[in-house]
Chain A
Amino acid sequence: MPYGWKGQLLRINLTDGSAQKEPLNMKWAAQYIGGRGLGTKYLLEEIDPACEPLSPANKLVFATGPLSGTYAPTGGRYMVLCKSPLTGAIACSNSGGYWGPELKFAGYDMVILEGRAPKPVYVWVYNDQVEIRDAAHVWGKTIEETEDALRAETDPQARISGIGPAGENLNRVACVINDKSRAAGRSGVGAVMGSKNVKAIVCRGTGAVEVADPLKFGELVFASMKEINASPTTSMALRGMGTASTVGFTNSVGILPTDNFQRGQFEQANAISGQTIAGTVLKRNKGCYSCPIGCARVTETSGASKWKGHGEGPEYETIFGLGSDCGVGELDAVLYANYLCNQYALDTISAGGTVAVAMELAQRGYIPPEDLKEVGTELKFGNADAVMRCLEMMTYRQGKLGDLMAEGGYRLAEHYGHPELFMGSKKQDFAAYDPRGAKGMGLGYATSNRGACHLRGYSMTVEWFAPPDMRLDPFTIEGKAKAQLELQHKAGCEDAAGICTFSAFGGLTPDKLAPIYNAATGENLSLGDWMTAGERIWNIERLFNNRAGLSRKDDSLPPRMTREPLTNGAVQGQVVELAPMLEEYYRLRGWDDDGNPSAETLARLGIE
Chain B
Amino acid sequence: MILAHPQKCVACHLCEGACSFQHEGAFQPARTRIFVHDFVDEAVYVPVACFHCKDAPCLSNCPTYAITRDSLTGMVQVNDDRCIGCKMCMVACPFSVMGFHEEKNVSQNCDLCGGEPQCVKICVYGALEYAEVEPVDWMLRLDQAERPAAAAG
Residues of A participating in the B interface, judged by any CB pair closer than 8 Å:
69-71, 76, 98, 105, 179-180, 205-211, 214, 218, 222, 225, 228-229, 235, 283-292, 294, 296, 298, 310
The distance in angstroms between the C-alpha atoms of A286 and B12, with both chains bound, is 7
Q: How far is the CA of A535 from the CA of B51 in the complex (A)?
A: 51
B12 x A294 contact (CB < 8 A): yes
Query: Is A209's CB under 8 angstroms from B12's CB?
Result: no
A588 to B24, CA, bound (A): 47
Given A283-B43, A286-B10: A105 in contact with B28 (beta carbons within 8 A):
yes
Check B10 against A209 for contact (C-beta < 8 Å): no
Expressed in whole angstroms, the minimum distance between the Cβ of A268 and any Cβ of chain B is 27
State how many angstroms separate the Cβ of B122 from the closest Cβ of chain A.
Answer: 6
User: Which residue of B13, B25, B30, B40 is within 8 Å of A207 (Cβ)?
Assistant: B30
- Inter-chain contacts of A228 with B (CB < 8 A): 124
State the CA gap A414–B94 with chains docked (Å). Answer: 64
Contact check, B27 vs A208: say whether CB atoms are below 8 A apart: yes
A430–B17 Cα distance when bound, in Å, is 37
Check if B12 sits within 8 Å of A291, measured CB to CB: yes
Looking at the complex, which one of A180, A210, A289, A298 makes contact with B12 (CB distance below 8 Å)? A289
Residues of B within 8 A of A229 (CB): 124
Residue B14, interface by CB 8 Å: yes
Contacts known (A222-B121, A225-B124, A290-B17); A71 close to B27, Cβ less than 8 A: yes
Docked-complex contact B121 and A71, CB < 8 angstroms:
no
A292 to B102, CA, bound (A): 30
Contact A71 B28 (CB under 8 A): no
Q: Are B10 and A70 in contact (CB under 8 A)?
A: no
What separation, in Å, do the CA atoms of A179 and B40 have in the docked complex? 9
Given contacts A180-B40, A225-B122, A290-B17, 20 further A-B contacts (CB under 8 A): A71-B18, A105-B28, A105-B29, A179-B40, A207-B28, A208-B26, A208-B31, A209-B26, A209-B28, A214-B25, A229-B124, A284-B7, A285-B10, A286-B43, A287-B12, A287-B125, A290-B13, A292-B14, A292-B124, A294-B125
Residues of B within 8 A of A207 (CB): 28, 30
Q: Which B residues are CB-close (under 8 A) to A105?
A: 28-30
CB <8 Å contact, B10 and A98: no
Q: CB-nearest residue of chain A relative to B24? A: A208
- Complex CA gap A76/B45 in Å reads 18
**What residues on A are CB-neighbors of B20 within 8 Å?**
208
The chain B residue sitting closest to A205, CB to CB, is B30
Q: Is the CB of B130 closer than 8 A to any CB of chain A?
A: no
Q: Which chain B residues border A285 with CB–CB below 8 Å? A: 10
B12: chain A residues within 8 A (beta carbon): 76, 287-292, 294
**B residues in contact with A287, CB < 8 Å:** 10-12, 125
Residue in B closest to A235 when the chains form the complex, CB atoms: B124
Question: What B residues does A286 contact at CB under 8 A?
Answer: 10-11, 43, 45
A residues in contact with B45, CB < 8 Å: 286
B135 to chain A, nearest CB (A): 27
CB distance from A520 to the nearest CB of B (A): 10
What CA separation (Å) do A205 and B27 show in the bound complex?
12
B14 touching A70 by the CB < 8 A rule? Answer: no
Query: Can you spell out 17 A-B residue pairs with CB atoms less than 8 angstroms apart?
Result: A71-B14, A71-B18, A71-B21, A208-B26, A209-B27, A211-B27, A285-B10, A286-B10, A286-B43, A286-B45, A287-B12, A290-B13, A290-B14, A291-B12, A292-B124, A294-B10, A310-B43
- From B19, which residue of chain A is reached at the shortest CB distance? A71
Shortest Cβ gap from A219 to chain B (Å): 12
Most buried by A among B7, B24, B124: B124
Q: Is the CB of B28 within 8 A of A208?
A: yes
Supposing A229-B124, A286-B11 touch, asked if A71 and B17 sit within 8 A by C-beta, the answer is yes
Give complex CA distance A287, B125 in Å.
Answer: 10
- Chain A residues near B11 (CB-CB < 8 A): 286-287
- Within 8 Å CB of B40, what residues of A? 179-180
Task: Provide the residues of chain B in CB contact with A69, threshold 8 Å.
Answer: 27
Docked complex Cα distance between A187 and B34 (Å): 39
**A106 CA to B145 CA, complexed, in Å:** 32
A74 to chain B, nearest CB (A): 9
| Contact residues in B for A292 (Cβ distance below 8 Å) | 12, 14, 124
Complex contact A210–B30 (CB within 8 A): no
Chain B residues lying within 8 Å of A284, measured Cβ to Cβ, are 7, 10, 43
Decide if B124 touches A70 in the complex (CB within 8 Å).
no
CA distance A219 to B122 in the complex (A): 11
| Distance (whole angstroms) from the CB of B98 to the closest CB of chain A | 17
Nearest 5 CB-CB pairings of A with B: A206-B30, A287-B12, A208-B28, A71-B17, A208-B26
**Chain B residues within an 8 Å CB radius of A225:** 122, 124
CB distance from A206 to the nearest CB of B (A): 4
How far does the alpha carbon of A494 sit from the alpha carbon of B31 in the complex, in Å?
Answer: 28
Choice from B17, B31, B122 contacting A70 with Cβ under 8 Å: B17
Nearest Cβ on chain B to A275's Cβ, whole angstroms: 20
B21 and A214 contact, CB distance less than 8 A: yes
Cα(A180)–Cα(B25), bound, Å: 31
- Closest chain-A Cβ to B105's Cβ sits at a distance in Å of 15
